[in-house]
Amino acid sequence: MVYVAGIIVLAFALAVEAKVGDSSLSSFCSESDECLLYNLTCKGVGYEVRRYEATKWASVEVESVFMEMAISKAFWKLFRYIMGSNEAGIKIDMAAPVIIKGPDSRSMWQSSGFTINFLLPSTYQLNQAPVPKPIDSAVSIIETPDMQVYVKSYGGWMSFISSRMQSRALRSAMDAAGASYVRGYHYDVGYNSPMKMTNRHNEVWYAVEGEPVCAV
Ligand SMILES: *[C@@H]1O[C@H](CO)[C@@H](O)[C@H](O)[C@H]1NC(C)=O
């Protein structure tokens, strides 16, 4: 009886710990102790489909012309929050990736809304501790729903240009496959600090609409 209960507890722990976990479980997420985990749904031509569970993030919204400017404006607010600028006064470990939600297209000088999100460590994902309340009102704690995304990975550095090129390439691949996805915005997903010079990994995501389309 105790043995069975033990197995159930263990199975439960493994299941609930499946969304943010040790970076050794990820092949391309190596700079932080913990990384966002997913299940691969399938592969298509030029993309893959993944499922992510509901996830908590520290988040800042900014109006900006370029993604780079949006990131630098939001980064320090989020960084201060994890360094202890929160009501509990505690330091929060950085986890990967950082996700930027931004619009697909805009005229060159028109500013638009970006949301920059820092992933919270598993302790907070699993409600083992209350999420420290931000002091800066620009920082909010959000929870993204359980979702499936179309993903394209690429190396090098994430920028306004690479984001544009990669999101366009992913849209072409999805369109060619007849996939339905949420249009108008995408996610730029970064796993590396600017100091890392080799084996960099970035992604672009679109949210799946309806049933995902896989390669036949
Ligand atoms: C992946 O699938 C397993 C088994 O169904 C499940 O326990 C786990 O929560 C899933 N993880 C994600 C991130 O969807």
Question: Where do the domains of the chain lie, and which CATH numbers do they carry?
Answer: 2-207 (3.20.80.10)
**pLDDT value at residue 2:** 46
Please give the number of the atom of ligand 1 that sits closest to the Cα of 14.
7
* CA 146 – ligand 1 centroid, Å: 11
- Amino acid in the structure at residue 130: P
Q: From atom 2 of ligand 1, which residue's Cα is the shortest distance away?
A: 39
Tokens of 6: 């033990």
Q: From atom 5 of ligand 1, which residue's Cα is the shortest distance away?
A: 15
Exposed/middle/buried for residue 5 (C-beta within 10 Å: 0-12, 13-18, 19+): exposed
DSSP string, 96-148: EEEEEEEES---TT--EEEEEEEEPPHHHHTTSSPPPPBSSTTEEEEEEPSEE
Residue 154 CB–ligand 1 contact under 6 Å: no
Residue 125 CB–ligand 1 contact under 6 Å: no
Quickly tell me which residue has 């990131």 as its tokens.
71
5, pLDDT greater than 80? no
Residue 37 CB–ligand 1 contact under 6 Å: yes
Quickly tell me which residue has 């931004």 as its tokens.
102
Collapse the DSSP code of 161 into the 3-class scheme (helix H, G, I; strand E, B; otherwise coil) and give the result.
helix
- Amino acid in the structure at residue 161: I
* CA 42 – ligand 1 centroid, Å: 14
Residue 15 CB–ligand 1 contact under 6 Å: yes
> 49-75, pLDDT tens digit by residue?
999 999 999 999 999 888 888 999 999
Greatest Cα pair distance in the chain: 66
Q: Report the alpha-carbon angle 101-201-99, nearest 5.
A: 20
DSSP string, 77-97: HHHHHHTT-BTT------EEE
**pLDDT value at residue 131:** 97
Q: From atom 7 of ligand 1, which residue's Cα is the shortest distance away?
A: 15
d(CA 63, CA 187): 16
Q: How confident is the model at residue 94 (pLDDT cuts 50, 70, 90)?
A: very high
Q: From atom 1 of ligand 1, which residue's Cα is the shortest distance away?
A: 39
Average pLDDT rounded to a whole number, residues 167-192: 96
Residue 73 CB–ligand 1 contact under 6 Å: no
* CA 112 – ligand 1 centroid, Å: 35
85, pLDDT greater than 90? yes
* CA 148 – ligand 1 centroid, Å: 12
Residue 147 CB–ligand 1 contact under 6 Å: no
Residue 18 to residues 5, 110, 214: CA-CA distances in angstroms? 20, 40, 23
